[in-house]
């Protein structure tokens, strides 16, 4: 029951992450706006990584972990347009897995 409830809320979580990422796709966003967006992406993806793994959504957890790691790799660097595209692509991967989560069974992640 908890897993089903968590699964039902995954779309909302992805929408929250996508909203945080908006400055990464906007021309003219300031460096501060982009940095805040990336920090928020990291925090939200970290939460999603842990909770998805806890509830047995291993593929979502793994994809979200990649998004968080990319952010960690950029922590001290100035974001380039290529970095922003890569973050948005990783976010799209997570969203696609969430959208298709009921099509293939997942293994329970080791917690």
pTM of the prediction?
Answer: 0.78
Torsions phi, psi of 24, nearest 5? -70, -20
Nearest residue to 109 via CA among 47, 34, 49: 49
Q: What is the pLDDT of residues 47-99, one digit of tens each?
A: 999 999 888 889 999 999 988 888 776 666 677 888 888 889 989 999 999 88
């Amino acid at each position: 029951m908890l897993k089903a409830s968590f699964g039902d809320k995954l779309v909302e979580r992805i929408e929250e992450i996508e909203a945080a990422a908006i400055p990464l796709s906007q021309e003219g966003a300031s460096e501060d706006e982009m940095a805040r967006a990336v920090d928020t992406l990291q925090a939200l993806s970290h939460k999603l990584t842990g909770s998805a793994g806890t509830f047995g959504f291993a593929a979502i957890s793994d994809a979200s972990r990649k998004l968080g790691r990319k952010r960690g790799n950029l922590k001290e660097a100035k974001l380039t347009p290529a970095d922003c595209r890569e973050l948005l692509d990783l976010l799209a991967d997570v969203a696609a897995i969430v959208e298709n989560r009921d099509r293939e069974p997942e293994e329970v992640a080791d917690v």
